[in-house]
Amino acid sequence: MHHRRNAAVNRFFQWMGFALVSAALISPSVHAADVKKPGVKKQQVSASNAKRAVVTRKVAASIKPTRVAARTAKAPTKVAFVPAKPSFGQMAGLHEVNDPLDLKSSVALVVDQDTHEVLLRKNDQAVLPIASLTKLMTGMLISQAKLPMDEPVTITQDDVDTEKGSRSRLTVGTTLTRGEMLHLALMSSENRAAHALGRTYPGGLEVFVTQMNAKAKSLGMNDTHYVEPTGLSSRNQSSARDLATLVGVAHGDPLLRELSTSPGYEVAVGHKTLQYNNTNGLVKNPTWDIGLQKTGYISEAGRCLVMQAQVAGRKLIMVFLDSAGKFSRLGDAERVRRWVESNPSLAAPLQAVRSNNG
């Protein structure tokens, strides 16, 4: 029994010794394999990098260099400057003349309507285009002819402006009464309305223009000449002195006073209602007492304005021609009014003021 136990123990130790020897023999080879593996991996990585470098060189060689042109700054586009067409007054040098009020109009005249005293004058003898101030004479002839104001007048192709190409809301075929046409011509300076009034005058347009010039001559307006009833032609010309005469006579006509100072007016055209306004904004100003007025503009004439107004107790006739600037003619009227009101020597005598007020 004891002998068997010793034999088993001996076999156990023999097996353990064999296992230890085997482990010692095997472990160096395993360790060597583990040491060699990093070397293999490094070699593989180096080969991969080399291959990638070759591919990169081939790709780089296949790319052709491109020439990039330098971008030059684009020159700014030059817009041609078209100067405004000078007026006759500018070409004549009338704007070089100074006046104590620094008016923007090259021609001005302020006259007392009752005494004919001249309060202010500037180039009042100059003969210039008068634009739509022409319509004041047109209106005077129509009113004095005593034609029926309720008679229909139709706009035709003959009334379309071929002189300046101006626009109008009164299309060909529009029919209004003569009174409505006269209202629009005096208040809103409607060119087709004014032309239609002259065209439908007894005897036609040619007779009407002849009558315009005959009337001017009869009033002593020797600087004045008309070729048509609208003022679109620069050949319609006059002087400030002649226009002051015309304003004085026209102011005596109640119809012209009413229509020229009307702030606004509506007319029915077909299924539409057209609103027209006065071209002179001063008629809506409650500080002004305007009895008659007319504005005008074409490039040859500049901005024009004639008015009859009561200022500081005096009935004044004001004429402004060839004003530079859209609102400068109204500004000139304001400058004259302030000048008269602030200057006691220009105000009407107290007795005259009381007489005028009744």
* Cα angle value 265/268/269 (rounded, 5°): 125
Residues 26-43, mean pLDDT to the nearest whole number: 39
Per-residue pLDDT, averaged over 32-52, amounts to: 42
Residue 189 is among the residues annotated as catalytic for this protein: yes
pLDDT of residue 11: 55
Name the catalytic one among 105, 106, 132, 328.
Answer: 132
Separation CA 156–CA 347 (nearest Å)? 50
Sequence spans of domains, the chain? 88-356
Task: Please count the other Cβ atoms lying within 10 Å of the Cβ belonging to residue 263.
Answer: 11
Give the chain's mean pLDDT: 83
Provide the pLDDT confidence category of residue 85 given band limits of 50, 70 and 90: confident
CA-wise closest residue to 282 among 308, 321, 302? 308
What is the predicted pLDDT for the residue at 74? 55
Of 42-46, 112-116, 272-276, the poorest mean pLDDT is in: 42-46
Better-scored residue on pLDDT, 4 or 310: 310
Asked if CATH classification 3.40.710.10 holds for the domain at 88-356, the reply, yes or no, is yes
* 355 carries an active-site annotation: no
> Per the residue annotation, which of 189, 234, 238, 328 is the catalytic one?
189
Measured CA to CA, the distance from residue 179 to residue 274 in angstroms comes to: 16
As a whole-number percent, the residues of the chain with pLDDT over 70 amount to 74
Tell me if residue 99 falls in helix, strand or coil: coil
Nearest CA to 238 out of 217, 208, 259, 261 is that of 217
Residues contacting residue 85 through CB under 8 Å, at least 6 positions apart:
299, 300
pLDDT tens, 149-162? 999 999 999 999 99
Q: Which residue has the higher pLDDT, 49 or 35?
A: 49
- Cα–Cα distance between 123 and 320 in angstroms, integer? 10
Average pLDDT over residues 322-330: 94
pLDDT of res. 22:
44
pLDDT at 140 exceeding the cut of 60: yes
At 66, the pLDDT band (50, 70, 90 cuts) reads very low
Residue 122 identity (one-letter amino acid): K
pLDDT at 7 over 60: no
pLDDT at 244: 98
Catalytic residue of the set 87, 105, 122, 135: 135
Instruction: Write out pLDDT tens, residues 245-279.
Output: 999 999 999 999 999 999 999 999 988 999 999 99
Give the pLDDT confidence score for residue 347 in this predicted structure.
Answer: 80
3-state secondary structure of 308: strand
Cα 222 from Cα 218, distance rounded (Å) = 9
- Decide if pLDDT at 170 tops 50: yes
Number of residues that this document lists for the chain? 358
| 342 catalytically annotated | no
Nearest-CA neighbor of 296 among 236, 216, 225?
Answer: 236
113 backbone φψ class: left, alpha, beta (φ>0; ψ -120 to 50): alpha
* Per-residue model confidence (pLDDT) at position 270: 87
The predicted pLDDT at position 348 comes to 74
Q: What is the pLDDT of residue 200?
A: 98
Q: Which helix (H) or strand (E) covers residue 324, if one does?
A: none
